[in-house]
């Protein structure tokens, strides 16, 4: 075989930004006209040329413009221009068949039940009745920022506060914010700072019974506990018992709330809560999140369902804080947009000032509050400095009066006369001197105030629990239910001017991708582990595996920290996180291999060595496939870890192109052989991609046999098309050995599957439109790359984008480079590959049965490590024909969808939101859903457009403490599903009129699982003499549509009775869209006994599994309401 390495052509980056793909058409028309005009007298020629060119150009541009603007494109319109060389060779059904086939309902039954079942599964939404709807607040607030020289001082300096002296009860709450990694690694911070703070905390609080402290980060506490002496542990426990020390949040880390998936959010909360229950025997009541960059309502929901009653948050847009100050609404009951009855409300306190440090904690004037930071030497007053003094008899009266006044002013912002004064900052209280200076000086001031009755103030040290107890219990204050009710979330976040913290949504996307992979692999490993060991006697091997799981859980939890997954740590620290995640992935993969062997071994009574066919690397190109050698036949074992059956393609790399594949019943399996692309660019001439069309039942392992075939059949091979744009005369040669290569010249490429036709532009290899066959509708989906830059401003004092913030210097510009386009056409999938110098963009159309037939799968492999990309954000923009107006939806941590509004009063960056897994454009008649493999920033700047920031390379710091830019870019992969759906008018009323939220549809929810929990593929040497039916293993029966087992997590392996926590999320689905023939079984009668888990006992618990709610009978129905998540502790027989 003579296939040689293929490189994309020597494209030069055009300096002009106007060479849009569509403009080439105009140039051709112009050159044609020139030859005609040669025959016209020279005198008139110039004038005529000019006139005609102008007229023609205008006409062409106008007609193109009309085409582009016309949202009601018909299929004929496109096919006028497009000759379709890639007609579907194999007819496949454009319906989801066999959905829950196993339940074996008769066909007649299916159709009769369908409507009812659909209704039963649907979420009938209605708007919640609240006092503060954040989307409405954004419409009304002024986002102007005070034009001060030192804007960093915070907006409240500028507010003239009127205040009166009143009785106050002040809780002074010392705290220390501990980042498990940021400027230093977690190890370095722990040994240099955290452990000293914890040692001193136990020592000082024990010696001084009136002193109090709070601690939030359980992951760091666990490290300290492992080395603490018995005396220290005993003292620690006593301090918790007396209430001097309060453990707040109880989470492993103070998680980011923008780009974290709710599965991992809950995992790290569980990890912390369970550790606290086991080691300290406490359950947490109050949450403390002062540093995450914006706050999500999903976090509020998870906390509330985990037994937390009150929460404190901090980083919120300055305009929202100003609004809350005017309304006295810094304290409110936070309601989910779907929770009409308010059953999941949680009380929330927003800290009113710009930051959480001491200068921003006692009152509105940071220059005064700074004086009470007794460990500091000096305070700054603008450019002046003032030495800080310890409290003495000489100055106590004056300083007490100043503090008293600040507290009185601060309390004007709240509805109650109980006031919280936090007192701490990053990595504080790490020396004995600081403990003494802060506490002793504060004590002197507090004594002075308490001993002067005319000040009418009681001031004492306390914890969050003290504050909230006094607040809610106080007689002369409003009761909790008189506080306003708020819905929505606290995004976007800006702390000053136009500096929106919307950049980090896409900072270091490779790390975000890797963390999400760890999350999927860990969840899958947890489920396999529970099935593998439930009911077994513990042996050493199982203990070893369990410790690998525990390590991986803790690494996943650590990576949710607000400076980890956000990508906002120093580059060395990011490397440290990456290597931890890599090793956790290795651990979970080991658990996969061993548990699958174990489950199969139990079935077959054999020792089966299983390998996984995917491997990950933190630095290289990924994921890489392990090559399956077919010298002898192999078995592929496929694991579906979700509760619904799936019809998908799986891909493995093999060393021969001639293969035979059979399923468990020895029936041949349809497959395709395509090239393997090294680093996504170069064709590997030794290996081949084998793609199988498989149907796997819910929660089951299925086995296929693959062997080399002696008969050389090339009919399974994909054909390659080397595409030259009709107007872009480049066609590098392509020699690919076994694969047939065709050269074609075209303006558009169309790819047809059973369900749809997708049309691509040949000039840039990107999607242009989608025609749904059954819907008879064509949607424009013009996709291209654009870039934002930040460096154009010459003013050195003007801030530019950095790791946190996004500050573009104008509208996005088109990427003008023209890629080399190759089409790989096969019977199961066809892909269009656009190879740019630093980007490989792949669009894949599937031709299998099932919902995947209806999507376009887009992957980008982006490498912007070159200096050429300095101060650039690379964006994939999809311009659709959906008339979405100024609204679009983005998901909140993958748990729910908020309806967002693009506001012209905001800058571009203020209109970007985090997309953890989905973004939606919707009109009265149709919907476009973009599903993403991991978190990135997204916006809909123009009606019908969605743009996603794929990666960003920034050479400067953005003045938030990191002191470096982001220039360690590595290749990053992004994976998206694009889905168009038509709205069924007859169903409109069913969903109700919900303005502030969106819901997933049946289809989008189903394909999202495919993207988020890909089928896992293992290989093994083919079993000998084994009836293949023996190795089909089904662990749990199918669940209804929308039901997700978020986790099935073993609690211990030591105890005689094995226990797991099973967490189930029932997603609310939108029935305004057809479910097609997806038939969701009516599971109102789903019972615990239906699960094949040999259950002994079932107890409903709080979400993190530590508080028992009630015991269930095994015969009880399993009942989770739409939108809810519930956790149950299950014990196995
Ligand atoms: Zn922090």
308/754: higher pLDDT: 308
Question: Which among 671, 731, 739, 661 has a CA at the least distance from the CA of 702?
Answer: 661
Both structure tokens of 700: 């089951």
Nearest to 365 by CA among 382, 390, 348: 382
Measured in Å, residue 801 CA sits from the centre of ligand 1 at: 20
Q: What does the DSSP assignment read for 329-390? A: -SEEEEE-TT-TT-TT-EEEEE--SS-SSGGGTSSS-HHHHGGG-TT-SEEEETTEEEE---
Query: What Rg do the C-alpha atoms of the chain give, in angstroms?
Result: 31
Give me the pLDDT at residue 824, please: 95
Rounded distance between C-alpha atoms, residue 1131 and residue 1133, angstroms: 7
- What is the model's pLDDT at position 14? 27
Residue 786 pairs in a beta bridge with 814, 875
Counting beta carbons within 10 angstroms of the beta carbon of residue 880, is it exposed (0 to 12), middle (13 to 18) or buried (19 or more)?
A: buried
Tell me: the pLDDT tens digits for 1008-1025? 988 988 899 999 888 754
36: preceding bond cis by omega (within 30 degrees):
no
| Predicted pLDDT at 72 | 30
Average pLDDT rounded to a whole number, residues 519-535: 89
Ligand 1 centroid from CA 652, angstroms: 42
Instruction: Report the pLDDT value the prediction gives residue 739, as an integer from 0 to 100.
Output: 85
- CA dist 763 and 768 (Å) reads 11
Assign 1126 to helix, strand or coil: strand
Which of 445-470 are b and which e, b meaning 16 or more Cβ less than 10 Å from the residue's Cβ? bbebbeeeeebebebebbbbbbbbbb
- The per-residue pLDDT for 103 is 32
Tokens representing 469?
Answer: 């107890």
- Token pair 């409507």 is found at 115
From residue 694, how far is each of 299, 338, 535, 704, 1043 by CA, in Å?
37, 37, 31, 9, 22
At 182-208, the pLDDT tens digits run 999 999 999 999 999 999 999 999 999
What is the per-residue DSSP string for 517-545?
Answer: HHHHHHHHHHHHHHHHHTTPPP-HHHHHH
The per-residue pLDDT for 1076 is 65
* Residues surrounding ion ligand 1 at CB below 5 Å: 179, 291
pLDDT of 1101 higher than 60: yes
> With contact defined as beta carbons under 8 Å apart, do 665 and 563 qualify?
no
DSSP classification of residue 818: P
Q: What is the pLDDT of residue 75?
A: 31
**DSSP state string for 688-757:** EEEEEEEEE-TTEEEEEEEEE-SS---TTBPEEEEEEETTB--------TTS-EEEEEESEEEEE-SSEE
Cβ–Cβ < 8 Å for 13, 868: yes
Quick: pLDDT tens for 610-630. 888 887 665 555 667 889 999
CA of 968 to the centre of ligand 1 (A): 22
How far apart are the CA of 563 and the centre of ligand 1, in A? 7
Give SS3 for 584. Answer: helix
Give the model's pLDDT for residue 24. Answer: 39
What's the 236 CA to ligand 1 centre distance in angstroms? 24
Give residue 731's pLDDT band: very low, low, confident or very high (50, 70, 90): low
Q: Which helix (H) or strand (E) holds 982?
A: strand 972-982
The pLDDT of 743-764, averaged and rounded, is 90
Distance (Å) from CA 861 to ligand 1 centroid: 31
Give how far Cα 797 sits from Cα of 145, 494, 789, 791, 958, Å.
Answer: 17, 18, 17, 12, 11
User: Which band of pLDDT confidence, cut at 50, 70 and 90, is reported for residue 990?
Assistant: very low
More confident residue, 122 or 475: 122
Q: How far is the CA of 562 from the centre of ligand 1 (A)?
A: 6
Least-confidence region, from 63-77, 153-167, 172-186: 63-77
Q: Which of 860, 264, 13 is nearest to 506 (CA)?
A: 860
Helices (H), 937-1001: 988-991
Among 323-327, 381-385, 951-955, the range scoring the smallest mean pLDDT is 381-385
Q: How far is the CA of 370 from the centre of ligand 1 (A)?
A: 20
**Predicted confidence band of residue 269 (pLDDT cuts 50, 70, 90):** very high
In the structure, what pLDDT confidence band is assigned to residue 537 with cuts at 50, 70 and 90?
Answer: low
CA of 506 to the centre of ligand 1 (A): 19
What positions carry a catalytic annotation? 291
pLDDT value of position 32:
42
What pLDDT shows up at residue 1029?
44
Q: Give the pLDDT confidence score for residue 742 in this predicted structure.
A: 86
Neighbours of 227 (CB within 10 A): 10
571-593: per-residue pLDDT in tens?
Answer: 999 999 999 999 999 999 999 99
Mean pLDDT lowest among 362-376, 838-852, 1033-1047: 1033-1047
Q: Which helix (H) or strand (E) holds 457?
A: strand 457-461
DSSP reduced 3-state for 447: helix
Write down the pLDDT at residue 907. Answer: 92
Cα of 350 from ligand 1 centre, angstroms: 17
**Predicted pLDDT at 109:** 36
């Amino acid at each position: 075989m003579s296939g040689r390495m293929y490189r994309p052509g020597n494209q030069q980056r055009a300096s002009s930004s106007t060479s849009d793909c569509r403009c080439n058409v105009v140039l051709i028309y112009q050159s044609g006209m020139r030859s005609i005009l040669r025959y016209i007298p020279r005198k008139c020629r110039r004038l005529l040329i000019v006139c005609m060119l102008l007229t023609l150009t205008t006409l062409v541009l106008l007609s193109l413009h009309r085409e582009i603007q016309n949202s009601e494109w018909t299929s004929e319109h496109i096919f006028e221009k497009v000759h379709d060389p890639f007609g579907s060779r194999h007819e496949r059904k454009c319906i989801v068949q066999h959905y829950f086939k196993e339940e074996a309902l008769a066909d007649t039954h299916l159709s009769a039940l369908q409507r009812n079942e659909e209704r039963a599964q649907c979420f009938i939404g209605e708007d919640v009745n609240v006092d503060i709807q954040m989307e409405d607040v954004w419409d009304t607030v002024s986002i102007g920022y005070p034009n001060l020289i030192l804007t960093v001082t915070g907006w409240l300096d500028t507010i003239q506060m009127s205040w009166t002296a009143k009785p106050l009860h002040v809780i002074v709450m010392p705290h220390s914010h501990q980042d498990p990694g940021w400027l230093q690694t977690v190890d370095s911070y722990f040994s240099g700072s955290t452990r000293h703070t914890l040692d001193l905390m136990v020592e000082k609080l024990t010696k001084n019974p009136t002193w109090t402290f709070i601690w939030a980060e359980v992951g760091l506490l666990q490290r300290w506990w492992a080395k603490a002496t018995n005396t220290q542990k005993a003292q620690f426990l006593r301090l918790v018992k007396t209430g001097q020390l309060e453990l707040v949040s109880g989470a492993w880390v103070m998680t980011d709330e923008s780009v974290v998936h709710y599965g991992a959010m809950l995992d790290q909360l569980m990890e912390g809560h369970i550790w606290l229950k086991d080691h300290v025997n406490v359950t947490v009541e109050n949450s403390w999140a002062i540093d995450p960059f914006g706050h999500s309502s999903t976090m509020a929901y998870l906390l509330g369902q985990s037994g937390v009653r009150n929460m404190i948050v901090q980083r919120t847009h300055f305009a929202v804080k100003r609004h809350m100050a005017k309304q006295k609404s810094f304290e409110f009951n936070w309601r989910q947009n779907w929770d009409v009855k308010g059953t999941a409300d949680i009380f929330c306190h927003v800290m009113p000032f710009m930051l959480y440090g001491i200068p921003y904690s006692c009152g509105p004037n940071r220059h005064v509050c700074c004086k009470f930071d007794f460990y500091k030497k000096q305070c700054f007053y603008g450019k002046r400095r003032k030495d800080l003094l310890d409290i003495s008899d000489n100055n106590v009266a004056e300083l007490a009066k100043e503090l008293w006044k600040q507290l009185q002013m601060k309390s004007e912002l709240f509805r109650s006369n109980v006031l919280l004064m936090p007192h701490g900052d990053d990595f504080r209280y790490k020396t004995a001197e600081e403990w003494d200076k802060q506490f002793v000086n504060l004590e002197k001031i507090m004594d002075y105030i308490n001993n002067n009755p005319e000040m009418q103030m009681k001031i004492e040290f306390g914890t969050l629990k003290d504050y909230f107890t006094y607040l809610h219990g106080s007689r002369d204050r409003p009761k909790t239910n008189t506080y306003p009710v708020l819905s929505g979330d606290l995004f976007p976040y800006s702390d000053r001017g136009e500096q929106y913290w919307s950049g980090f949504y896409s900072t270091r996307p490779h790390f975000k991708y890797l963390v999400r992979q760890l999350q999927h692999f860990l969840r899958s490993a947890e489920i396999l582990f529970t099935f593998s060991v439930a009911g077994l006697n513990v042996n050493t091997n199982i203990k070893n595996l369990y410790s690998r799981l525990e390590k991986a859980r803790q690494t996943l939890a650590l990576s949710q920290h607000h400076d980890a997954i956000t990508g906002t740590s120093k580059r060395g620290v990011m490397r440290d996180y990456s290597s931890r995640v890599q090793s956790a992935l290795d651990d979970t993969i080991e658990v996969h291999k061993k548990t699958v062997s174990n489950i199969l071994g139990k079935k077959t009574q054999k020792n089966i060595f299983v390998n996984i066919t995917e491997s990950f690397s933190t630095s290289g190109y990924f994921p890489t496939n392990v090559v399956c050698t077919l010298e002898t036949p192999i078995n592929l074992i496929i694991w579906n870890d979700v509760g619904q059956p799936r019809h998908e393609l799986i891909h493995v790399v093999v060393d021969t192109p001639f293969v035979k594949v059979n399923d468990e019943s020895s029936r041949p399996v349809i497959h395709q052989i395509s090239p393997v692309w090294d680093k996504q660019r170069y064709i590997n001439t030794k290996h081949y991609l084998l793609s199988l069309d498989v149907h796997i039942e819910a929660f089951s392992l299925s086995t296929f046999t693959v062997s080399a075939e002696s008969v050389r059949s090339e009919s399974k091979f994909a054909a390659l098309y080397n595409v030259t744009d009709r107007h872009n005369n480049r066609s590098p040669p392509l020699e690919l050995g076994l694969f047939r290569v065709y050269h074609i010249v075209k303006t558009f490429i169309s790819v047809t599957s059973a369900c749809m036709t997708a049309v691509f532009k040949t000039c840039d290899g990107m999607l242009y439109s989608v025609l749904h066959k059954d819907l008879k509708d064509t949607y424009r989906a013009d996709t291209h790359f654009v870039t934002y830059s930040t460096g154009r401003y010459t003013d050195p004092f003007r801030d530019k984008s950095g790791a946190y913030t996004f500050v573009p210097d104008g509208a996005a510009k088109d990427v003008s480079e023209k890629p080399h386009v190759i089409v790989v056409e096969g019977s199961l999938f066809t892909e269009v590959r656009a190879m740019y110098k630093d980007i490989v963009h792949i669009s894949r159309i599937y031709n299998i049965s099932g919902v995947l037939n209806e999507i376009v799968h887009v992957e980008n492999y982006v490498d912007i490590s070159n200096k050429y990309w300095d101060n650039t954000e690379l964006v994939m923009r999809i311009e659709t024909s959906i008339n979405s107006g100024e609204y679009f939806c983005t998901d909140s941590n993958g748990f729910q969808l908020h309806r967002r509004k693009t506001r012209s009063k905001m800058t571009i960056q203020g209109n970007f939101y985090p997309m953890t897994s989905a973004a939606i454009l919707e009109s009265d008649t149709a919907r476009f859903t973009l599903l993403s493999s991991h978190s990135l920033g997204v916006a809909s700047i123009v009606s019908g457009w969605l743009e996603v920031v794929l990666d960003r390379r920034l050479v400067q710091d953005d003045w938030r403490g990191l002191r470096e830019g982001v220039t360690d870019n590595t290749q990053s992969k992004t994976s998206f599903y694009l889905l168009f759906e038509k709205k069924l008018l007859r169903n409109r009323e069913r969903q109700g009129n919900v303005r502030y939220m969106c819901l997933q549809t049946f289809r989008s929810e189903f394909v999202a699982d495919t993207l988020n929990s890909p089928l896992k593929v293992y290989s093994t040497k083919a079993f000998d003499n084994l009836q293949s039916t023996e190795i089909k293993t089904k662990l749990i029966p199918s669940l209804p549509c929308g039901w997700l087992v978020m986790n099935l997590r073993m609690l211990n392996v030591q105890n005689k009775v094995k226990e797991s926590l099973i967490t189930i999320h029932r997603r609310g689905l939108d029935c305004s869209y057809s479910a097609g023939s997806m038939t969701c079984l009516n599971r109102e009668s789903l019972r615990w006994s239906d699960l094949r888990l040999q259950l002994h006992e079932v107890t409903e618990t709080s979400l993190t599994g530590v508080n028992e709610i009630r015991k269930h009978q095994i015969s009880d129905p399993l009942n989770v309401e739409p939108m809810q998540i519930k956790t149950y502790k299950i014990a196995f027989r």
